Each structure stands twice: as C-alpha cells, then as structure tokens.
C-alpha cells in the first residue's frame, strides 16, 4: 500500500515535457511576488492571530488559572511559550528541576532564558556534555520520586548516545517493576526537524526510530499554543515523554494564553486525508492552497489534473472545482491517534502522510501499514508517503531538496487523486 517518490510523477512529467518548449521560447516567467503565492507561516489560517481567535481554540481547558479571573493572552513565539511553560512548571512545584547543556544561560534557542536567575542555579543548571549522562540523571531523579525532571538535549541530532537510557531504562521502568514504580516525572525536551542550513548534525527528524519504544510518549507541537499546552501536559503526564520542538517555527509570532490542551485539530475535507505534524503542517497547507491558486508555471498542469479528477469522479469538469482535502495535525507521534485517522480515511478513502524524516522505517510507514490492513477494501488509491530521502542524513548543500516542499506535496496530492 505504500508508494514513495523515487519515480517521476504526473505533475513532474508534465513539467519535464514542456521544459524544452519553455526554454526555446523567448517569453520569460515572472519571479514570484515577495510574499509568495500561497500562505506563509506568518499568515497561516491554522494559527491564532487575535485574542478572540486564541480563546476559541477547540478543546481548550484551563488548569493553572482561576476560572473566575479574566483569561490573559500574550503575543509569543514558540520559544517564548516554551519558556513560559517551564516557568509555570517551576513555579507550581518546588521539586521541579530543569537541566541540560547550556540551559543556565538560556540555551542555544533561549528557551530557558532568565530561569536560573529567577528560580536559582540549584533548580536550573548546566550539565556536562553527555546526553547519556544527563538523561540517566533525569531517570534517577524521577525514579526516586524526588520531583519533575525536565532535561534538555540541545539538538535531537545528539540524542543517540541517550538512546539506550531512553529505550532500555525509561520506556521499560514501569513494566519491569510490575507497576510499582514509574518515570512519570521525566520529560526530555529537544529541538527537531530541519533548520534550513543544519546539515548532517542539526537537521535530523528521528522520531521514526522511537515508533517501537512502547512506554515512551513522543510529542511534536507546531505552534505556541500547542507548545505551551502540550509541554505542561507532558511534564504532568504519568509516563516519560520526549518532547520534540520544531526548530524552524520557534520564532513565529501569534497569541498565546495559559495552558491549553487541544483536541486533534484538522481542516475537514472529503476527497483526501493528509496526516502530518510539526513544520510540515504548514507545508501541506501551502500545497492545498496551490490547488485553487497554483503559481505561475504549474497552473496549467494543476488545472489539467483537476479536470481529470473531476471527470473520473463525475463532478463538474470546470477547472475551478477543487478537491476537498482533510488535513490532520497528529501532534502526538507515540502513541498516535489511529482512530481519528481511520475515521477520516473511511470518509475520504485516500491517504497521504507527510513528514521530514526518512520514508523507510518512518512514521508514515507505520501509519500506512495500519490503515492498509484495516481499510484495504475501502481505499480508492494506494497510501502515499512523502518524506525525506533515504540518505545518510541531511546534506547541507542539498537540504532544500531533501525536505519535502509544497511542490512535492502538491505533486503527491495530484497523483493520489488521479489514481
């Protein structure tokens, strides 16, 4: 049921077939406008830009404020909301500690800025440069019931030395003690996904390696509201949590408020389900926008593909009859919300999964196997997985080509609809 993009798909074939004509023509294609053809993260409809929008976020609950008091909102980006969540956790429990490499001066991304001065260096402190050591220390602190241990691994690319501690100790702790002990006080924070110029050791997306780590939870937010709410929920969860923070969206602004816990957020649709998380949520949003407003250079090919889709499905042959795409923001990768995915695919009968990590052994492979096993007879097309290429990491000069962009996602949408 899984097909990956190692071959030339319909949109790219159409583009290639016309490239010679375009090159020989004297006409030129105008460059795109400065703001781009499609929504950017700054003006994404998935973000809450005003106080009222933020307060109407579906599924909000208030856990740290007096319900009779007015609900406060503040404009923050992701790293500021993470810092705010850490401050809330430290304020509400004096046994909570925050530690990691360089966290005392604020950390590489400034998520702990000022916390050591505010709460003291015995509660917010640096560790030696050893991921295995700092995660092992967190396991020991949490296992003794001393309080909440919030460890920071400076980049997820450096988490590998701690893999043994996470999988062999943290994940198994409750089970091997017969439920007598747990590591619910352990949270591992770490930046993940591409940064745009990170190369081999600063742009990895290794969440797929954790898919078999039963006993851990893996969470990846995509906005300040999610970052604050899900981080506080992770800290208070009775299980150890690895909280991965997308690097590329840490400085995007919008309104934030006291800790929300949201339901799975999605854009409803009926022709195709796209499942994604983190930064690629916005990539998929831009690709969906291109269906109705394709940029110059691909407009004809998109419209031709949509006419074929509408004709095949006995819809209007008009080129502006745009398919309806359902976009699911997964957020929790382990355990992922399979029932929500199955309900959606039962309606749309088509599925795409998009992520930055490699396709082989990735999150998409796991989800597609489950959906294929349960809904095989209901599917109108094979499951599509769009992800990073199977290369040894993300090569610096080829990072733009490694990370799925809106054209690759658009290409996959058209191919899935045309099947």
pLDDT tens figures, 61-91: 666 655 545 567 778 888 899 999 999 999 9
Instruction: Report d(CA 232, CA 216) in Å as an integer.
Output: 16
318 dihedral zone (left: phi>0; alpha: psi -120 to 50; beta) = beta
Residue 242 three-state SS: strand
Rounded to 5 degrees, what angle do the CA atoms 273, 220, 217 make?
Answer: 105
Helices (H), 35-77: 51-55
Mean pLDDT along residues 413-418: 94
Cβ(13)–Cβ(304) below 8 Å: no
Mean pLDDT along residues 293-315: 84
Res. 325: pLDDT tops 50 = yes
pLDDT tens figures, 89-122: 999 999 999 999 999 999 988 999 999 999 999 9
Instruction: Report d(CA 400, CA 385) in Å as an integer.
Output: 18
Residues of the chain with CATH 3.40.50.970: 51-256
pLDDT tens figures, 198-234: 888 899 999 999 999 999 999 999 988 889 989 999 9
Task: Look up the CATH number of domain 7-17+38-44+265-418.
Answer: 3.40.50.920
pLDDT tens figures, 151-164: 999 999 999 999 99
Mean pLDDT along residues 255-260: 46
Alpha-carbon distances, residue 407 vs 208, 265, 331, 362 (angstroms) = 24, 24, 23, 21
Q: How confident is the model at residue 1 (pLDDT cuts 50, 70, 90)?
A: very low
Residue 271's pLDDT is: 95
Instruction: Report d(CA 208, CA 300) in Å as an integer.
Output: 37
Q: How confident is the model at residue 23 (pLDDT cuts 50, 70, 90)?
A: very low
Residues of the chain with CATH 3.40.50.920: 7-17+38-44+265-418
Res. 167: pLDDT tops 70 = yes
Res. 255: pLDDT tops 90 = no
Residue 191 three-state SS: strand
Residue indicated by tokens 């705010």: 84
Q: Please, what is the average pLDDT of the chain?
A: 84
Res. 55: pLDDT tops 80 = no
Q: CA torsion angle for 383, 384, 385, 391 (degrees, to 10)? A: 120
Cβ(174)–Cβ(238) below 8 Å: no
Instruction: Report d(CA 96, CA 418) in Å as an integer.
Output: 53
Res. 345: pLDDT tops 60 = yes
3-state secondary structure 278-340: CCHHHHHHHHHHHHHCCCCCCHHHHHHHHHHHHHHCCCCCCCCCCCCEEEEECCEEECCCHHH
Token pair for 15: 């583009």
CATH of 51-256, one of 3.40.50.970, 2.30.110.10, 3.40.720.10, 3.40.50.2000: 3.40.50.970
Mean pLDDT along residues 308-316: 76
Res. 48: pLDDT tops 70 = no
pLDDT tens figures, 356-389: 999 999 999 999 999 999 999 999 999 999 999 9
Residue 319's pLDDT is: 45
Helices 10-24 and 299-312: crossing angle in degrees, nearest 10, is 140
């Amino acid at each position: 049921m899984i097909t990956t993009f190692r071959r030339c798909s319909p949109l790219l074939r159409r583009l290639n077939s016309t490239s010679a004509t375009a090159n020989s023509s004297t006409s030129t294609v105008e460059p795109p406008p400065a703001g781009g053809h499609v929504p950017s993260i700054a003006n994404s409809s998935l973000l809450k830009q005003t106080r009222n929008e933020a307060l109407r976020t579906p599924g909000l609950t208030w856990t740290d404020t007096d319900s009779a008091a007015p609900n406060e909102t503040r404009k923050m980006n992701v790293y500021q909301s993470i810092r705010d969540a850490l401050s809330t956790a430290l304020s509400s429990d004096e046994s909570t500690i925050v530690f990691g490499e360089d966290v005392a001066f604020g950390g590489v991304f400034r998520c702990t800025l000022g916390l050591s001065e505010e709460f003291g260096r015995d509660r917010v402190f640096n560790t030696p440069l050893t991921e295995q050591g700092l995660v092992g220390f967190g396991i020991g602190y949490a296992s003794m019931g001393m309080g909440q241990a919030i460890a920071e691994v400076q980049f997820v690319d450096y988490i590998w030395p701690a893999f043994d501690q996470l999988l062999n100790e943290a994940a198994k702790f409750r089970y091997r003690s017969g439920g007598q002990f747990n590591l619910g006080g352990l949270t591992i924070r770490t930046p993940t996904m591409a940064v745009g110029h990170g190369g081999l050791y600063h742009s990895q997306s290794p969440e797929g390696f954790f898919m078999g780590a039963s006993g851990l939870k893996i969470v990846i937010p995509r906005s300040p509201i999610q970052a604050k709410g899900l981080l506080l929920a992770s800290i208070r969860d009775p299980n150890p949590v690895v909280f991965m923070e997308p690097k590329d969206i840490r400085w995007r602004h919008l309104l934030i408020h006291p800790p929300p816990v949201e339901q799975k957020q999605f854009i409803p649709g009926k022709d195709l389900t796209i499942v994604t998380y983190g930064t690629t949520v916005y990539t998929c949003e831009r690709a969906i926008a291109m269906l109705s407003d394709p940029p110059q250079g691909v407009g004809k090919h998109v419209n031709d593909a949509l006419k074929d889709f509408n004709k095949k499905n006995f819809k209007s042959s008009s080129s502006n009859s745009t398919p309806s795409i359902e976009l699911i923001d997964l957020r929790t990768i382990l355990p992922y919300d399979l029932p929500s995915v199955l309900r959606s695919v039962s309606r749309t009968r088509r599925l795409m999964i998009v992520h930055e990590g490699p396709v082989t052994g990735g999150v998409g492979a796991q989800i597609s196997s489950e959906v294929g096993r349960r809904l095989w007879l209901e599917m109108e097309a094979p499951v599509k997985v769009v992800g990073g290429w199977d290369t040894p990491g993300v090569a610096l000069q080829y990072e733009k080509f490694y990370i799925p962009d809106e054209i690759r996602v658009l290409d996959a949408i058209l191919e899935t609809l045309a099947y």
